[in-house]
Structure 1
Amino acid sequence: MEEAVSCLQRDEPGMKPHVFGVRHLSPASAWHIEAFLDAIMPTAVLVEGPADMSGLIPDIVRQRTKPPIAALAYTEELPIDTILYPLAGYSPEYRALKWAASKGCHSEFIDLPAKYSFVVHRREETEEREEGEAGGERHSVYEELARLAGEQNYESYWERSFEQIRGLEGFFSAMAAFSSELRSLAEKTDSQKEQDYNNLREAYMRRKIAEVIAAGHHPEKIVVVTGAFHIKGILEETGELTDFSKLPSVPIKMTLMPYSNFRLSSQSGYGAGNHAPSYFYMMWQCLREADHEKLPFYYLSSLAAELRKSGTFRSTAEVMEGTRLAYALASFRNGSPTLQDLRDAAIMCLGHGNFSVIADACAKIEVGTAIGELPDGVIQAPVQEDFTRRVRELKLEKYKTSSLSELRLDLRENRRVKSSEAAFLDRNRSFFFHQLNVLGIGFANQSGYKQDQASWAEQWNLRWTPESEIRLVETTLLGDTIELATAFVLKERLANAQNVSEASSVIRDSWLCGMMEMMEEARAAVAALGAEAADFPETAAAVGQIAYVLQFGDVRGFDTGMLKPLVARLFLRGALLLPGSSGCNNEAAKLVLKGIQEMDETAAQLYKEIDEPLWLQTLREICERDDLNPVLSGYCCALLLEKNEIGPEMLEQEVSRRLSPGIPADLGGGWFEGLCLGNKYALLSRAYLWEKVDRYIATLTDEEFLRALVFLRRAFSTYNAGDRSKVAEILAESWGLNVQQVSEQLNEELTEKEESVLDQLNDFDFGDW
């Protein structure tokens, strides 16, 4: 109490409120502000934060609200902009609001409303682009403070200089001095725009304080909690009076969202965060237990425990030795150990001098994986409420964490349960996950699942992040529910589709999302666009998209029969377009090759629906023609070989024709590359092919060999050591050499010089062919 009274004497009693300077996410600030409030017992607690977020305070301080959380403001018009106001359990602002709620004390945010800040930020971004300033790195006033103090970085400077102050009066005085020094440096480093913006904010805060005084609160019973930078600006009248009613604004909405330790950390780019939120939570616990001396041991023992979990044993003796070393390092600066001191001690005593040994454990102990929670009934956007409802209905609550979880789905009906909801739980989960993917909400990411290529199974990786929540809020303008927002996005994509491929992707996504009406709308659009399609790669892509849906049958509970006539018409058009598209250069051939693969896979899967004889005829035409891209001709030859449409004699004739002496290296090498893109095992058994390739290469000049080498290298890129050994056996017999010696030479690692030469060859411009 005496310390608090001493602090009061620095202000002018009866004229000014008590302005308590803090740092966001500072345990010491939170600890001292609670003590200060207990001593002063104010009737009003005013906190730096967007004033139009004050309506969120009752939900912020609710008993079941679990930090970290963030208040989020977002614009109601496109493009959507957001402003975040994060709070941890040890944020001084959060502790002040909680204190006010527990005492029935008035509390509100008093900083410039977000509706004005959006306009200011947009204007500054526009001016920066026009002036060419965007992207420039400005000198940091905080790093300058650390440099002047002789610390490695600002975080170490702050922790040693302020987090270790235990006396309230000492902390209060230190923050006042810090504020003065910070503003002095900012005047030299901040741009005029930044200074003007801070002046505007402080003028607004002074106005809000005046309103609270006018409402009947005595200045001596008002406590303002603000970033230390603003102490002087709030206490001293500066600049001209501002008519805030004339400031431009944008319509906005507010919501609360769970936040995470990672997002709070400086790794995520949030400027007012700290680099080790989990470590500072440890510090907060120690302060609340009035045992701040245990922090070094707490940190190091937690680190050792994490190492043990991963199989790296570290003893208690090593933890004790690390604690002693941390104190020894801190003694050079006459203080207690900081995180930097503890990290250095951990590297020596637990990592045995190697940081990589403890790196993963440090990330978990210092940053952590904690994610906040909000109780039911908290003010949220309609789409957030719908998301929460569906997560609950689909029994996914336990997966809404920042830790990665795997979930396997069985889309078939579960006949062992009674209700239809339970019977198709996994199918409905799949619909939900795919809808989130369409909206770009990164909660669930699909991964491969192999169980006899089961068409009824899906595997998903689930992780919830604040970025997911932000994206969820941003979809509020698209619809009040996840399904309505998804339908809006799919309709927009269909309306903006420039070709049949883009439109057919809407068919596939509509089917994955369980939205049959949308799928039918997309089918009609694809049918119209397909009738005029003139591009083979786009048409082939459309065929592949629709074939993907058809190959799964009714596994998602929908009849997809209406797509069969459509895929048949598109396949016919693609087959007719292919020959004319194959007379292209190698760059364009990449897209054509992908289209051939999609068409061929469709022919294998849907042979009853499409014209398979026409497809085989088309492949044979590409294979036999000499005026088309050789890579494509070689690949079509490989496909026909796989289908047993080419016999040994015909293949030998084609090899002789394509790899005869005098055939340019680009043509011969390109054809062989295309041939090797098919079933390599069908080629390994044909000795005459490799002997012919060998004789063809022997006829090339040095320059031609270099040109052919690029194609040959790509051709063999998919061959493993066993494949190369098989080729070695064939060639060794042909050359009359020892098989093992040839195999060893072929599998020998290239030298750096040889790799360099080959890399240079890849950069050569050999023309279209």
Structure 2
Amino acid sequence: MAESSLPFHFFGIRHHGPGSARSLLGALEALQPDALLIEGPAECETLLPAVAEQQLQPPVAMLVYSQDEPSRASFFPLAEFSPEWVAMRWAVQRGLPVRFMDLPQATEMALDKEAQASREAELAEPEKNETAAPPEDVAEGDEAVLAGSGAPHPDQRYARDPLDALAEAAGFADGETWWNRLVEERGGDSAVFEAVGMAMTALREELPNGLRGERYALREERREATMRQTMREAARAGFQRIAVICGAWHVPALQAATTAKADAATLKGLPRLKVQATWAPWTHRNLASASGYGAGVDSPGWYAHLWRTNALADPTDTEPGPRFIRPSRAAAWLARVAQLLRSHDLDCSSAHIIEATRLAEGLAALRAQTEPGLPELHEAVRTVICMGESAPLRLIQDALVIGDVLGSVPPDVPLVPLQRDLEQQQKTLRLKPEAASKIVALDLRKDTDLARSHLLHRLRLLGIHWGTRAADQQRNRGTFRESWDLQWQPELVVRLIESSRFGSTVETAAATRVLQSLTPQTTLPEIAEAIDDALLAQLPPLVERLMNEVSARAAITGDVQQLLRALPALANVYRYGSVRQTDSTLLAGVIDQLVLRAAIGLPNACLSLDEEAARGVQKLALLADDAIGLRDFAETTEAWQRALQVMAEADTCAALLRGMATRLLLDAKIWDEQRIGQQFAHNLSLGVAPVDAAAWLEGFLNRQALVLLHDDAIWGAVDAWLAQLGEAQFLQVLPLVRRSFADFSRAERQQLGSRAVRGQSSGAGAAAVVGPTGAGTGGATALDAKRASLVLPTLRTLWGVASER
């Protein structure tokens, strides 16, 4: 800045760094500033009073979203070890003024919206895109940024993380490791900020913002201009000792000689949107780099451990304790590792911990470290506790290095009504949001569990997947049980805010969203599934509306396949209606109406179909038959079976479907053996093309071997048909028949083979002969009296019968 003599004290920190936070805390105690300027969006200043409340427990995030487009939102996470959080709490507790000095999110979002519209316009004009230069890849720095389209810097090795350049010079693998070793694990000295400022000044001279593209450079220029303007306003307000807390990368730019006129020109004419800010719970998992968060850290759980263990030795800590005992962060960490492993039934004794601590400290000494870091602790655990195995380390990585900590916010934090309603229901139903995955088994016979199920299904209709259906861990197949895998994600807050346009309560919002999703193009099966969802979510008004919609569309549609697709979902709802305490009268009427219309149109819909189309209708008809069986209403069932009889006897119907219809009539005992025999004689006779005969047989068997194993007449008919085929016909039919038999289970195929062998060894030949009606008149297998007499002594002993003399 041109006004370099102003009373500013710069503290270049790393977001979410415990060493930076500890050093900053000591520096603030020494400086005793009268104002703090912190890198952050200006809209979040209204959230600062909540920092003093004990119920605001990090990790939390400042959420800024557009009032007109809630899906356009940004999170600014804070952990207990984040320097910004430490500075905010330190200042608020002392009543000092705090201001955020970054570019407002109202402007950021407006610029992002304009850029998005520009990209969409370019995509809509392909002829222009052919000559346009390809865009650069998105670059990630300490925040999520948009890549520019300018010429890249000659040295792209440091585009992702400029600290890699310093790490390479110091002999470290990457910038993360370098900063972690020198600052985060050794923090506590306020002099580090001067050294960091000098390092960043040299680094920015070699690696300017243009390294990541022109668009990124322009964005950083606007941000730093906003920061300098805020600093000037603080100076004009009369503050004498102003602490400027920002990312270390920005320190040289804020100290540079830049005029207020130049900064004003940079920020002139920028657009703005209407935005709203609030607090939202966050998790360590979402702080991790693996989550995709640009400013994330590799090990938030480990950083939290560093912060807590070193806080005990910090001179500013007010908790009493023996000053002569320095806490060992290595021993404390390994104690947590032991507790975790034991909870998973893995062996870890006190001797293991002692030896692992010694090994970790020895490795640190060999590597010129004052205390073991995470790499040394991992190596010690793998060597001493895991005996060289790496699998337990994955458990440690997930549960401790990253962790499942979920923050909390005070109840008086500004929330949209939909969020309030959800929080109230979570409290009433005792469903606490947790960051860790948790299986919850619900007994729908209990009122509380039923209400929980309704809530989770309503959230699912809103696209808020707090819970997903899971396999029942108690292996209870009863329809009254339902299991959910619950895991709260911070992003769900944005979904809640976005869904608030549908209603102020979860119930009304879910119903409204489903209704608004219906269009004239929505198919009957989709509406039927929506009815199922609405019943699961206990939304009676919505169910009635959807029922009326199904009834109205069924009355005018001639698409039989749509009618058949809609039946399974409705029948499933009808089957479990008593468990869900729903009124099934209206639903039964809708099912009956769909079945009657489908039965009328089904025979005509099965005419002149090719193989693929026939298989599609077969699948739908089988599902519909099961659904009609669940309904179990005489008039409806009779109408369906009349349609099957027409299909089975219509030569113009696809052979596959005729065979399927015959089988369904056999299973329902509508046709007796003589009628079934006639169908076999008609469809497996020499006059029928072998391909059609094989298709008819495939439809009749329906991937089930039991009818062949237990019905001698059908066995004989199939055997006689195959026996009468000539060689050319047999070769033509063989792949088709083999495909039908391939769907049988291995045990069924073995039983079929055994039966075929028994038939041949008995001397009866094919085991059956097709009679005049086509039904198999099975020949009796000859009895071997000599072999049978061998079991008689055993039978007499079992039954207590005296032997014959």
TM-score (norm 2): 0.80
Q: Given that residues 447 and 460 in structure 1 are in contact (C-alpha distance below 8 angstroms), is that contact kept between their aligned partners in structure 2?
A: yes
2:252 match: 232
With 47-56 and 658-667 compared, the bigger mean Cα shift is at 658-667
Q: Given that residues 64 and 375 in structure 1 are in contact (C-alpha distance below 8 angstroms), is that contact kept between their aligned partners in structure 2?
A: yes
1:761 match: none
Give yes or no for the alignment of 1:361 onto 2:383: no
Query: In structure 2, how many angstroms separate the alpha carbons of the residues matched to 1:373 and 1:730?
Result: 69
Cα deviation code 1:504-532 (max 9, x no counterpart)? 33333333322222222222222221122
Give yes or no for the alignment of 1:573 onto 2:597: yes
1:645 match: 670
Give yes or no for the alignment of 1:278 onto 2:301: yes
Matched to 2:623, the amino acid is E
Matched to 1:54, the amino acid is E
Cα deviation code 1:619-674 (max 9, x no counterpart)? 33444545544544444344333323354555566556666789777655555554
1:298 match: 332
CA RMSD after TM alignment: 3.5
With 467-476 and 98-107 compared, the bigger mean Cα shift is at 467-476
- Give structure 2 stretches of 5+ with no counterpart: 123-131, 140-158, 314-324, 763-805
1:474 match: 498
Q: Given that residues 454 and 536 in structure 2 are in contact (C-alpha distance below 8 angstroms), is that contact kept between their aligned partners in structure 1?
A: yes
CA shift for structure 1 position 41: 1.1
Tell me which of 188, 194, 207 is aligned to 1:173: 194
CA shift for structure 1 position 358: 3.1
CA shift for structure 1 position 369: 1.3
With 671-680 and 339-348 compared, the bigger mean Cα shift is at 671-680
The 5 A counterparts of 1:427-442 are 427-442=450-465
Cα deviation code 1:697-737 (max 9, x no counterpart)? 99568985785388347623xx2x43333233223334659
Aligned-partner SS, 1:246: coil
Tell me which of 13, 19, 43 is aligned to 1:52: 43
CA shift for structure 1 position 493: 2.0
Cα deviation code 1:336-390 (max 9, x no counterpart)? 4332333233333332222124322331111111111122212222211111112
2:176 match: 155
1:141 match: 161
Query: In structure 2, how many angstroms separate the alpha carbons of the residues matched to 1:696 and 1:242?
Result: 95
The 5 A counterparts of 1:573-592 are 573-582=597-606, 583-589=608-614, 591-592=616-617
Cα deviation code 1:431-455 (max 9, x no counterpart)? 2222111001112333466998645
Q: 1:674 to 1:249 in 2, by over 3 A?
A: farther
Q: 1:476 to 1:677 in 2, by over 3 A?
A: same
Aligned-partner SS, 1:21: strand
Aligned-partner SS, 1:319: helix
Q: 1:395 to 1:304 in 2, by over 3 A?
A: closer
Tell me which of 372, 387, 409 is aligned to 1:352: 387
CA shift for structure 1 position 283: 0.9
Tell me which of 635, 639, 645 is aligned to 1:614: 639
Q: Given that residues 531 and 543 in structure 2 are in contact (C-alpha distance below 8 angstroms), is that contact kept between their aligned partners in structure 1?
A: yes
Give yes or no for the alignment of 1:193 onto 2:228: no
Cα deviation code 1:17-71 (max 9, x no counterpart)? 1121111111111111111111111121121111111111222442121111111
With 41-50 and 663-672 compared, the bigger mean Cα shift is at 663-672
Q: Given that residues 18 and 223 in structure 1 are in contact (C-alpha distance below 8 angstroms), is that contact kept between their aligned partners in structure 2?
A: yes
2:243 match: 223
CA shift for structure 1 position 400: 4.5
Q: 1:553 to 1:354 in 2, by over 3 A?
A: closer
1:744 match: none
Query: In structure 2, how many angstroms separate the alpha carbons of the residues matched to 1:185 and 1:150?
Result: 19
Aligned-partner SS, 1:531: helix
2:469 match: 446
Aligned-partner SS, 2:386: coil
2:557 match: 533
2:522 match: 498
Matched to 1:53, the amino acid is C
Cα deviation code 1:85-129 (max 9, x no counterpart)? 111111111111110111111112221111111122234445566
Tell me which of 277, 282, 290 is aligned to 1:267: 290
Matched to 1:27, the amino acid is P
CA shift for structure 1 position 186: 4.8
Query: In structure 1, how many angstroms separate the alpha carbons of the residues matched to 2:329 and 2:391?
Result: 23
The structure number with the bigger radius of gyration is 2
The 5 A counterparts of 1:298-337 are 298-331=332-365, 333-335=367-369, 336-337=371-372
Query: In structure 2, how many angstroms separate the alpha carbons of the residues matched to 1:292 and 1:536?
Result: 79
Q: Given that residues 540 and 574 in structure 1 are in contact (C-alpha distance below 8 angstroms), is that contact kept between their aligned partners in structure 2?
A: yes
Q: Given that residues 703 and 740 in structure 2 are in contact (C-alpha distance below 8 angstroms), is that contact kept between their aligned partners in structure 1?
A: no
Q: 1:442 to 1:326 in 2, by over 3 A?
A: same
1:516 match: 540
CA shift for structure 1 position 202: 0.9
Q: Given that residues 511 and 542 in structure 2 are in contact (C-alpha distance below 8 angstroms), is that contact kept between their aligned partners in structure 1?
A: yes
Query: In structure 1, how many angstroms separate the alpha carbons of the residues matched to 2:490 and 2:76?
Result: 12
CA shift for structure 1 position 156: 2.4
Cα deviation code 1:660-699 (max 9, x no counterpart)? 7897776555555544546543444346277469769995
With 457-466 and 475-484 compared, the bigger mean Cα shift is at 457-466
The 5 A counterparts of 1:674-753 are 674-677=699-702, 679-686=704-711, 688=715, 691=719, 699=727, 704=732, 707-708=735-736, 711-712=739-740, 715-716=743-744, 719=745, 721-734=746-759, 736=761
Tell me which of 426, 439, 446 is aligned to 2:449: 426
Tell me which of 91, 96, 102 is aligned to 1:105: 96
Query: In structure 2, how many angstroms separate the alpha carbons of the residues matched to 1:511 and 1:376?
Result: 32
Query: In structure 2, how many angstroms separate the alpha carbons of the residues matched to 1:596 and 1:294?
Result: 70
Q: Given that residues 209 and 216 in structure 2 are in contact (C-alpha distance below 8 angstroms), is that contact kept between their aligned partners in structure 1?
A: no
Query: In structure 1, how many angstroms separate the alpha carbons of the residues matched to 2:682 and 2:171?
Result: 77
Q: Given that residues 664 and 704 in structure 1 are in contact (C-alpha distance below 8 angstroms), is that contact kept between their aligned partners in structure 2?
A: no
Q: Given that residues 287 and 296 in structure 2 are in contact (C-alpha distance below 8 angstroms), is that contact kept between their aligned partners in structure 1?
A: yes
Identity %: 26
Q: Given that residues 647 and 653 in structure 2 are in contact (C-alpha distance below 8 angstroms), is that contact kept between their aligned partners in structure 1?
A: yes
Query: In structure 1, how many angstroms separate the alpha carbons of the residues matched to 2:598 and 2:326?
Result: 73
Matched to 1:339, the amino acid is L
Matched to 2:627, the amino acid is T
Q: 1:121 to 1:700 in 2, by over 3 A?
A: farther
- Give structure 1 stretches of 5+ with no counterpart: 1-9, 413-423, 738-769
Q: 1:84 to 1:626 in 2, by over 3 A?
A: farther
Aligned-partner SS, 1:374: coil
Tell me which of 408, 412, 431 is aligned to 1:377: 412
Tell me which of 540, 548, 561 is aligned to 2:572: 548
Aligned-partner SS, 2:245: strand
Aligned-partner SS, 1:402: coil
Query: In structure 1, how many angstroms separate the alpha carbons of the residues matched to 2:612 and 2:9?
Result: 70
Aligned-partner SS, 1:241: helix
CA shift for structure 1 position 203: 0.7
Tell me which of 386, 393, 407 is aligned to 2:421: 386
Query: In structure 2, how many angstroms separate the alpha carbons of the residues matched to 1:326 and 1:253?
Result: 48
Q: Given that residues 72 and 257 in structure 1 are in contact (C-alpha distance below 8 angstroms), is that contact kept between their aligned partners in structure 2?
A: yes
With 475-484 and 445-454 compared, the bigger mean Cα shift is at 445-454
Query: In structure 1, how many angstroms separate the alpha carbons of the residues matched to 2:21 and 2:752?
Result: 72
Give yes or no for the alignment of 1:603 onto 2:621: no
Give yes or no for the alignment of 1:86 onto 2:74: no
The 5 A counterparts of 1:654-669 are 654=679, 667=692
Query: In structure 2, how many angstroms separate the alpha carbons of the residues matched to 1:63 and 1:196?
Result: 40
Q: 1:528 to 1:203 in 2, by over 3 A?
A: same
Query: In structure 2, how many angstroms separate the alpha carbons of the residues matched to 1:375 and 1:708?
Result: 68
1:410 match: 444
